[in-house]
Chain A
């Protein structure tokens, strides 16, 4: 079974609103990554957060990590129609650094 799972499965918002998606995982990790997948394309890396970090920013992206709750969140501020995509978290299992992915959150941003 997957180590990480994203929530919600689908999210629909209006342009300009913030989008928040979550990732929960089962066992301790070394690092957690977020990726984006546009329709019909491969995954593209967005941001990496290490297990000793609590928050990271990259442009309009903000990622938090709560290791006590085994969860992470990805916040996209001031969303744009171009942010429409699926978002995946990738985790390792602590003992192995190999990334495994969840099923993703499908985000639709309406113009």
Chain B
């Protein structure tokens, strides 16, 4: 397996534009996580899915953020409209069981810059 694949690697967009980040988890992993990393706040859990169903989205900062997982091999994180404070590195991770009893596998991240 190629691991968790995220696209794009880098995204520069203007304030107010819609941004869509994509993730392909490792096949067979039942859990998918979206994290956001900034210098100020570190690595924050935004939302996670179990078997394609969103379980906890309490980390999503605002209604401008939404995430979907239409099938077991694809998830998106959308920001509409984007703002400069959304600039960060967004990571997708997947794991077999979702818990700290197994390792999570991270993608390479998407570096988002909103100008």
Contacts and interface: CB of A to CB of B under 8 A. Distances in A.
B100 A99 contact: yes
B61 interface: no
A91 B101 CA distance: 10
Contact of B98 (A2, A29, A97): A97
Contacts of B104: 43, 45, 90, 99
A30 B108 contact: no
A48 B103 contact: yes
A100 interface: yes
A43 B35 CA distance: 11
Interface in B74-115: 91, 93, 97-109
A103 interface: yes
Contacts of A97: 97-101
Interface in B1-21: 4
A98 B106 contact: no
Interface residues on A, range: 20 to 34
B60 to A, nearest CB: 15
B42 A45 contact: no
B42 A98 contact: no
Given A98-B45, A100-B45, A32 B106 contact: no
Contacts of B35: 101
B101 A31 contact: yes
B43 A101 contact: yes
A48 B101 CA distance: 7
B42 A101 contact: yes
B34 interface: no
B50 to A, nearest CB: 10
A42 interface: yes
B88 to A, nearest CB: 13
